[in-house]
Amino acid sequence: MADEEQGVETRKKPSLVITIAVVAVLTLLAGGGGWFVGNMLAPPPAEEPAQEVAKAEPPAEGGHGGGEKAEAGEIPHISTEANGIVLLDPITSNLAYPSDNRVRLEVALMFKGAPDAVLAEEIHQDIMAYMRTVSLQQVQGPRGFQYLREDLEERVDLRSEGRVTNVMFRTFVIE
């Protein structure tokens, strides 16, 4: 019995150095596994498209107008007339009720074929006139916003006679 007590007492606890080494190895394994799974699920983006865009657009000369953005390497806006998308001027208007609330709305129109600036301006004025008839209760919540979208898309479709394929909301703020 004395031998058993000595055997129990001579047994040592694991060393602090061994514990740290085991934790470090497990951390490296977990980090490597996470990196591997992350690359499998979402591989890193290819750098080639950005280089092609930079080659396609030569830097602007003279330093006037939006040339600074192209030189800084920023991605150009997708809302261009070459893509058939026209960004309308911001619409700021009072609501019908309560009249002290204002709405600011930025909309882009996607045309089928070449965009028409005159038609886009008519649609801009039509949207502004419609927003003056809308009350705050009509646009509250996600369902109200969806109804507003559908109403505006219907008005744009009627005004453009099918030449506008999509109405894209960029911003919508009620103050």
Cα radius of gyration rounded to whole Å, the chain: 31
Task: Give the H or E element holding residue 109.
Answer: strand 102-111
Q: Specify the pLDDT at position 149.
A: 94
pLDDT of residue 70: 46
Whether 156 and 166 have beta carbons less than 8 Å apart is answered as no
CATH class of this structure's domain 81-174: alpha beta
Task: Identify the pLDDT of residue 67.
Answer: 44
Task: Tell me the per-residue pLDDT of 90-104, one tens digit each, with 9 for 90 and over.
Answer: 999 999 988 899 999
**pLDDT higher than 80, residue 61:** no
Q: pLDDT tens-digit profile of 104-147?
A: 999 999 998 888 889 999 999 999 999 999 999 999 989 999 99
**Ramachandran angles phi, psi of 29, nearest 5°:** -65, -45
Tokens of 121: 């301006």
Q: Would you say the C-alpha torsion 81, 115, 157, 88 has a positive or negative sign?
A: positive
Cα 106 to chain centroid, rounded: 15
